[in-house]
Structure 1
Amino acid sequence: MGLLAAKTVLVTGVLTESSIAFHVARLAQEQGAQVILTSFGRTMRITEAMARRLPTLAPVVELDVADPAHFEALPDQIRQHASTVDGVVHSIGYAPRAAFDFTTATWADVAPALQISAYSLQPLVAACAPLMPQGGAMVGLTLDASVAWPGYDWMGVAKAAFEATNRYCAQAYGPAGIRCNLVAAGPIRTTAATSIPAFGRFAEWGEHAPLGWDETDPTPTAKSCVALLSDWFPATTGEIVHVDGGFHATGG
């Protein structure tokens, strides 16, 4: 019996085999879960290709978190594959390149970062909540927003908003038995991360982390997500679990 035996988990953000979301989906299946992926538009084909690389082929449903109509349609799409959902993984982040310059970015640059990277958590929980009659778990991915990372700029602000949104989701959906937690991962060399102009500045992370850190290995982060999706954290919500080799505890 795996940690997620007989559970159904919805995973967003699977675009490449190096992505944390892909490894969460893989480990969730290995731990017994039925996995459903989301994607939209031109990326649907990419996600469908990634679904074929999982241990078991996973269905892909359409979800563009910038489109409110997609949230309205999501429950019916999920019901085509499963009657209920036990866990949801929010692994979505986006900011225009201009948002990575704090002093020159305009609201037009910042607004999509906040909508897609932070606000989207709440409508995702709201859309899935009716499919969680016995409660469940929402797990999101963040980079510790308690400090200002050089070069992370408005995406760092979006992550701070994301972390606050998670706390309010924990408060709002806790009475329904839905736990909302985040994993604050160290830098992982994914396609999305390397598109951040300042990603190279994290190169020395492992030298300062007490346990070390391998930016090419998303498995520790994925394992933590799977643990939070499981029944082994029944009374934990509104939490941020650091999976960064201990870097956050050292002051850098």
Structure 2
Amino acid sequence: MSGILEGKTILVAGVTMDSSIGFATAKVAQEQGATVLISNFGRALGITRRIAKRLPTEPPVLELDVTDADHLAGLADQVREHTDHLDGVVHSIAYGNPETLLGGRFLEGPWEDVAQAVQVSAYSLKSLAMACKPLMGAGGSVVGLTFDATVAWPAYDWMGVAKAGLESTSRYLARDLGPEGIRVNLVSAGPLKTLAAKAIPGFSDLEDLWSSRAPLGWDNTDHVPTAKAVCALLSDLFPATSGEIVHVDGGFHAMGA
């Protein structure tokens, strides 16, 4: 029986550790029949190359800093060394300086760090989509990862603002890329134990909320449900869905108390 991504080629941008959502997405995508490429940059690139060997099929690892104009301009050529097209792109990228922007530091966060967080976490969705657009001539799917930005959370502070920017960016991209057959959606996951989460002071407070309020329960060590949702949106099963945010949070978002 073939998988839902059989015959598709997917780029998962932002894979570092095997405890990341990006890694889980790459694994599920391969299991569902996709050819996968992954990316990272800088000092983390060596880690990514080692981690890539833990996937069912070792994928090509591309160097991509989404804030570097030269990297973005050269991305299509990098991809073409391995394939002539992309059917889907996963944006698994976010950063906010935990020492200045998170853990109750909202009122003190300096603009320079806020600007970096917004560029890396929100603007880069547009940057990545446009860098990949020449490879998506027949249309395709762009999927990003968010953490519900409709409310203010403990500890999340300026990353919440950056995620709100990401969510708005995805809607405008859906508007402008839709005529070319490119769908743009986000998956809003509950709190998961990742390298990024460990850097957020007080993140455990969010995890405690989920344990008591998510009607389906919530396992913060299980990245597979989130990865499956991403892969479903990459597939042909949602041909008329764009500008959407799919919650994978055990139902937490729908509860009032």
Alignment TM class, shorter chain as reference: over 0.9
Asked if the contact 2:76–2:135 (Cα under 8 Å) also holds between the matched residues in 1, the reply is yes
- Residue 70 (structure 1) aligns with: 71
SS at match of 2:230: helix
What is the CA distance between 1:203 and its match in structure 2? 2.4
- Residue 198 (structure 1) aligns with: 202
What is the CA distance between 1:206 and its match in structure 2? 2.2
Asked if the contact 1:110–1:154 (Cα under 8 Å) also holds between the matched residues in 2, the reply is yes
Within 2, Cα distance between the matches of 1:94 and 1:173? 25
Residue 187 of structure 2: which of 183, 201, 208 is its match? 183
Within 2, Cα distance between the matches of 1:206 and 1:221? 17
Within 1, Cα distance between the matches of 2:121 and 2:159? 8
- Residue 215 (structure 2) aligns with: 210
* Residue 239 of structure 2 is aligned to residue 234 of structure 1: yes
* Residue 178 of structure 2 is aligned to residue 174 of structure 1: yes
- Residue 249 (structure 2) aligns with: 244
Deviations 1:162-182 (A, max 9, x none): 000000000010011000000
Within 2, Cα distance between the matches of 1:175 and 1:197? 42
What pairs with 1:32-43 in structure 2 (closer than 5 Å)?
32-43=33-44
- Residue 118 (structure 2) aligns with: 114
* TM-score normalised by structure 2 residue count: 0.97
- RMSD value over aligned CA atoms? 0.7
The aligned length equals: 252
Amino acid paired to 1:124: L
Asked if the contact 2:170–2:185 (Cα under 8 Å) also holds between the matched residues in 1, the reply is yes
Identity of aligned residues (%): 58
Within 1, Cα distance between the matches of 2:86 and 2:128? 12
SS at match of 1:182: strand
Moved over 4 A (4+): none
Asked if the contact 1:206–1:245 (Cα under 8 Å) also holds between the matched residues in 2, the reply is no
- Residue 148 (structure 1) aligns with: 152
Amino acid paired to 2:101: A
* TM-score normalised by structure 1 residue count: 0.99
Asked if the contact 2:154–2:206 (Cα under 8 Å) also holds between the matched residues in 1, the reply is no
Q: Which runs of 5+ in 2 are unaligned?
A: none
Amino acid paired to 1:138: V
